[in-house]
Amino acid sequence: MKNYIIIFLLSVFCKVLIGSPIFTNNTSSSIELLMEYPGTKSIWQGFDRYDFEFQGRDAHIIVPSSERADKAWVWRARFPEWHTEMDSILLHRGFYRLYINTDNLYGSPKAMEIWDSFYEYVLNSFHLNDKVVLEGVSRGGLFVYNWAKRHPEKVTFIYAEAPVCDFTSWPGGLGAGKGSIKDWAQLKEAYGFDSDAQAKEYLHQPMDDLEGLAAAKVPILHMIGLDDKVVPVEENSFPLIDKYTRLGGPATIIPCTEGKSSLEGHHFEIQSSALAADMIILHADKNHQPRLSSGPYHNTRRGLKNSFIKFEREKVGRVAFVGGSITQGTGWRDSVIQMLESRFPDTEFEFISAGISSMGSTPGAFRLERDVLSKGKIDLLFEEAAVNDDTNGRTDEEQMRAMEGIIRHVQSNNPSADIVLMHFVDPGKMDDYRAGKVPTVIQNHEKVAAHYQVSSINLAKEVTDRIDAGEFTWEDDFKNLHPSPFGHNIYARSFEHFFNTVWSGFVADDDKIISHEMPLAMDKYNYQNGRLIDVDEAKWGKGWQKVPHWTPSDGKGVRKNYTEVPMLVGEYPSGVLKFKFQGPAIGIAVAAGSDAGIIEYSIDGGPWLTQDLYTKWSGSLHLPWYYTLAADLDSGSHKIRIKMSSDRNEASTGNVCRIRYLYVNHP
């Protein structure tokens, strides 16, 4: 136990640091002249307090006599009149204090939606700092940790006093603690649990999912009573602190052992209010460093007005995310979904997550119909391909044809659809920017975005500049082109700034959804009509066979939708596959594994050409790969013949072609 009872004796050090606090010369009256506060005014420990309602719930703001330049603030979760000594110190040092009553919601998802809305209201109404100090007393721990894990980039510090970190301990009483029958029933109702067993299976307690919070290095401080029998520290603070420190999160735990205690050790005297305040001020000062704005990395162009009107007025929306592994995995995408749901709480959203590892704009253009547009008209599309288009070696022509095809296909399907292109970061792009060059793939995608006036977010440039400005490091914080939780938070923060820009203001009564003008195509061979074709539409000879449920037998990896699926397999030069199609483009989507061979193909009776199917990743993965065999044919009818070559790549172990789909750019 003592191994992780770590006390940071920072009091003297902090007092030196805060000897010259970051104050403006504002007085209470001058603050009021600048800001009108809602509700009823009263005096709280010498400070102006304003009580108001937010979404039908009691709330208040307490205003410091002299505010800090960074407009720092503290957010109380529960029991706003309990142990207020630290809050009083912070108010004297320029912090605001806010509170909203979400009693009987116990940090549930419903409570978090209210907190999200209140946070946006606070920033928009009072213009406070976008990072906040969270205070959670007792059951308040459920609130502060659940919200902090949703938004680690918005949290300066977490102060927790005898916090509940596992609701099966309190109010459940399923461990050593006494619990509360009434509160347990209310909690289960708030979370939608039908039974104790269902509650015990819940995997998002405060002590779960701490990776993102730890990666963001959010400091936490727990004040505890060692003899607490209501919220036992062995079931709450100790396991949370242990997990957090093992994940690299900075944590302090202070046992309060002096003075009287009551309520079976749950109420105890705080001997270190000044120390806690000093630690909060220290970290607030650290955060008060000039930080780059995300604005210069956003090109809003015509913006997202149509989707704004649709979400606000019609209360429905279909939003799609198309890209590679950074879009497929959890992280920034989930944060964007939360932002949309929070910003438009009454809107019924359908989210289509169509990210697939290794896929760039060419696969995106040809699978768009199957994976996205088959679900219905899209109101808002997020498209990323800059990493894979570059990494996969797509030519400039392919990059632009594919991206143009995606935009034209989406807006042909729904002329009012809004689109956002995203350029994610990788080391090569960082090297280009540091050499004074714009990465070629970003130049190509931006040409298309400018032609169609769709918005774009250049996260590659933003991350590079933030690292060069000393905000964080690639090696310790961002980690990889597949971002760490901290990196995903950087992406999410940029999206939040973007939304605040394009969706500022309100929807007026005379605002209308308009069709975006479709300009002339930049390249007449763009992939606007890309389609995937089932292999059953081809004809093949004896050298080919259809495997209904193909799965690799060599233990190598596979990707989504490329195992336990139909696969047309060719291994012998004697067999010829024939396929008739219309349009300028024809290609094959294959699983290119360690035994990938070389195909020979002929179009319309022309000469036999070759295509090596082996990639630099094939040795360890049956990689989904899109080989475009022709892209600039006339729009009429064509016929392709494909057979296996007896030659093979020297790194390959076989002569195999496994076709998942054919694809065409149908006129």
Q: pLDDT tens digit string along 372-398? A: 999 999 999 999 999 999 999 999 999
The two tokens of residue 497 are 């700034």
Same domain, yes or no: 206 and 314: no
Task: Report H helices in 517-572.
Answer: none
Q: Which of 74-78, 164-168, 357-361, 638-642 has the highest mean pLDDT?
A: 638-642
Q: Which residue in the block uniquely carries the two structure tokens 């169509």?
A: 354
The domain boundary residue, chosen from 252, 287, 322: 287
The domain boundary residue, chosen from 228, 260, 287: 287
Residue 511 lies in a domain: no
Same domain, yes or no: 195 and 149: yes
Same domain, yes or no: 266 and 339: no
Same domain, yes or no: 162 and 282: yes
Report the residue count for the chain: 667
Residue 519 lies in a domain: no
Residue-level pLDDT at 611: 97
- Gyration radius of the chain's alpha carbons: 29
Same domain, yes or no: 56 and 80: yes
The two tokens of residue 564 are 């336990």
Same domain, yes or no: 198 and 231: yes
Using pLDDT thresholds of 50, 70 and 90, give the confidence band for residue 25. very low
Tell me the CATH number at 208.
Answer: 3.40.50.1820
User: Which residues constitute the domain of residue 355?
Assistant: 295-502
Cis amide leading into 171 (omega within 30): yes
Same domain, yes or no: 225 and 364: no
Residue 364 lies in a domain: yes
Residue-level pLDDT at 27: 35
Residue 13 lies in a domain: yes
Q: Which of 502, 526, 509, 335 is nearest to 418 (CA)?
A: 502
Tell me the CATH number at 326.
Answer: 3.40.50.1110
Residue-level pLDDT at 289: 63
Same domain, yes or no: 556 and 455: no
Same domain, yes or no: 482 and 573: no
Number of domains in the chain: 3
* Global model pTM greater than 0.85: no
Residue-level pLDDT at 292: 86
Q: Per-residue pLDDT tens for 71-82?
A: 899 999 988 888
Q: Per-residue pLDDT tens for 424-471?
A: 999 999 999 999 999 999 999 999 999 999 999 999 999 999 999 888
Tell me the average pLDDT across 570-591.
Answer: 94
For every residue of 324-356, DSSP letters joined together read SHHHHSSSHHHHHHHHHHHHSTT-EEEEEEEE-
Mean pLDDT (the chain) is 90
The domain boundary residue, chosen from 238, 261, 287: 287
Tell me the CATH number at 646.
Answer: 2.60.120.260
Is residue 11's pLDDT more than 50?
no
Residue 522 lies in a domain: no
Same domain, yes or no: 381 and 306: yes
Task: List C-alpha distances in Å: 459 to 353, 424, 442, 491, 504.
Answer: 20, 5, 11, 7, 21
Residue 211 lies in a domain: yes
Residue 520 lies in a domain: no
Residue-level pLDDT at 324: 92
Using pLDDT thresholds of 50, 70 and 90, give the confidence band for residue 263. confident
Tell me the average pLDDT across 210-226.
Answer: 91
CB 353 within 8 A of CB 333: yes
Q: Which of 374, 159, 127, 135 is nearest to 252 (CA)?
A: 159
Give CA–CA dist 382/587, Å, rounded: 25
Same domain, yes or no: 245 and 376: no
Residue-level pLDDT at 30: 37
Q: Please list the residues that pair with 610 across neighbouring strands.
A: 600
Same domain, yes or no: 276 and 308: no
Q: Which of 615, 213, 554 is nearest to 393 (CA)?
A: 615
Q: 12 Cβ partners below 8 Å, 6+ apart?
A: none
Q: Per-residue pLDDT tens for 610-626?
A: 999 999 999 999 999 99
Residue 445 lies in a domain: yes
632 phi, psi to nearest 5 deg = -130, 40
